[in-house]
Amino acid sequence: MKPLPYGRQEITDADVEAVVEALRSDLITQGPRIEEFEEAMAGYLASRHTVALSSGTAALHAAAFAAGLGPGQEAITTPITFAASANCARYLGADVRFVDIDPATWNLDTEAAAAAVSDRTRLIVPVSYAGLPVDLRPLRGVRDRLTVIEDGCHALGGHRDGVRVGGAGGADMTAFSFHPVKSMTTGEGGLVSTEDPELARRVALFRTHGITREDIGPGPDDGDWYYEMQALGFNYRITDVQCALGLSQLRRLDSWVERRNRVAARYRELLAGEERIELPPAAPEGSLHGYHLFPVKIRDGPTARKRAFEALRAAGIGVQVHYIPVFRLPYWRDEMAAPQDECPHAQELYSGLISLPMFPGLTDADVERVVTELDQALGARSKIQ
């Protein structure tokens, strides 16, 4: 039996040709395809400004910089996420407060997050975990006091009531990742979308060492060579070659998200009535799940989860656990002294979490194989007829 990863990219001949063409051009790093990709993404998201960067982590870091985050301030995020959602605040010297998830959505409990806002809170990073668009409405009352960066790394292609994650009317900024297991890929890569031109300018500045030639009057060294370093930025640039791949991939993004939703529907059908498993929360009526992941919760807890994890891995099925609550990671636990006894819903969810394979190339037969192996590992009767 062929091994099944938990996620994988789709690369077509058209992608390869687009990359080869970019490689044969004169500008393989800062060429015209970067702006072309940014414009195409802005069109897709229906967002005014997009800035492409070298990774989703760089996108979050640049967005947190653009928000003006600094030492002495605090960011709020969910513990059930990849570490980068919290790390972006630490990079800027800010503290992080982890607020529990809503057990009905597995996303940050945005009502609790709004209630936890203090004088020090400057940023909230809600994550659309697994691809389910996080409910931003409870944050309305605090948005004049702070910045909301949606971590949309799992949710590209999803929408809330017809408004795409990352589109106008969402968070102040939305960060995406184009890592190969995500909805589409540029190899490594990321993007920030926003309606605010000043935030976009600051993200772009941060991407290039804080250096700019734009919007600067005649300087002391008045000549065409003149540039300014206005802030301490990084080299977070994406390349022309990566954007060639992104432009080509974007054409098939919607069909992949649709296929991810069909894979999820098949898992739900096959696992319906399986009492030992809690299925991931579905998108509300009128919204679309991005399904970067298909995590399920094994109700019997950590021992049953470990057994299932090991049995599926032994059967060549690449399950993963997304995620160990971030505050339990040694850096956050030991160096940052993050409280270990908070966020009971996150702790409870983690105790049984396991991500089943989810990618557009997964066949119905693959899905059935995963469910059969899972049933066997749990000692339950297979649902497959």
Ligand X SMILES: Cc1ncc(COP(=O)(O)O)c(C=O)c1O
Stretch that binds ligand X, among 135-143, 150-158, 302-310, 336-344 (CB under 6 A): 150-158
Torsion of CA 283, 289, 292, 296, to 10 degrees: 20
Among 49, 90, 154, 289, binds ligand X (CB under 6 A): 154
Among 150, 151, 278, 375, binds ligand X (CB under 6 A): 151
The residue among 179 and 202 lying less far from ligand X, judged by its C-beta, is 179
Residue closest to ligand X, measured at CB: 56
Return the residue matching tokens 């982890």.
Answer: 98
CB of 359 to ligand X, least distance (A): 14
The residue among 84 and 192 lying less far from ligand X, judged by its C-beta, is 84
The residue among 311 and 321 lying less far from ligand X, judged by its C-beta, is 321
Pairwise CA distance, residues 268 & 336, whole Å? 39
Mark 96-126 as b/e (b = at least 16 C-beta within 10 Å): bbbbbbbeebbbbbbebbbebbeeebbbbbb
In degrees, rounded to 5, the angle at the alpha carbon of residue 203 between the alpha carbons of residues 202 and 208 is: 95
Q: Does 150 participate in binding ligand X (rule CB under 6 A)? A: no
The residue among 37 and 266 lying less far from ligand X, judged by its C-beta, is 37
The residue among 102 and 274 lying less far from ligand X, judged by its C-beta, is 102
Among 55, 73, 183, 239, binds ligand X (CB under 6 A): 55
Size of site (CB under 6 A) for ligand X: 15
The residue among 266 and 291 lying less far from ligand X, judged by its C-beta, is 291
Q: What is the DSSP letter of 107?
A: S
CB of 127 to ligand X, least distance (A): 5
Q: What is the DSSP secondary-structure string of 116-156?
A: H--TTEEEEE-B-GGGPPP--GGGGGGTTTSEEEEE-TTTT
Instruction: Determine how many CB atoms are found less than 10 A away from the CB of residue 169.
Output: 13
Pairwise CA distance, residues 54 & 208, whole Å? 11
| x/- letters, 167..186, toward ligand X (CB under 6 A) | ----------x-x-------
Return the residue matching tokens 């960066």.
Answer: 149
Q: Does 86 participate in binding ligand X (rule CB under 6 A)? A: no
CB of 151 to ligand X, least distance (A): 5
Pairwise CA distance, residues 193 & 208, whole Å? 17
Q: Does 57 participate in binding ligand X (rule CB under 6 A)? A: yes
Q: Does 190 participate in binding ligand X (rule CB under 6 A)? A: yes
Does residue 323 have a cis peptide bond before it, meaning omega lies within 30 degrees of 0?
yes
Among 127, 199, 358, 378, binds ligand X (CB under 6 A): 127
Pairwise CA distance, residues 344 & 334, whole Å? 20
The residue among 81 and 261 lying less far from ligand X, judged by its C-beta, is 81
How far is residue 332 from each of residues 39, 339, 340, measured CA to CA in Å? Answer: 37, 9, 10
Helix (H, G, I), strand (E, B) or coil at 344: helix
Count, in order, helices (H) and strands (E) of the chain.
12, 14
How are the residues of the chain apportioned to helix, strand and coil, as percentages rounded to the nearest 5? 35, 15, 45
Stretch that binds ligand X, among 54-62, 91-99, 299-307, 376-384 (CB under 6 A): 54-62
CB of 182 to ligand X, least distance (A): 7
Among 153, 238, 264, 277, binds ligand X (CB under 6 A): 153
CB of 229 to ligand X, least distance (A): 25
Interface residue list for ligand X (CB under 6 A) = 55-57, 60, 81-82, 84-85, 127, 151, 153-154, 177, 179, 190
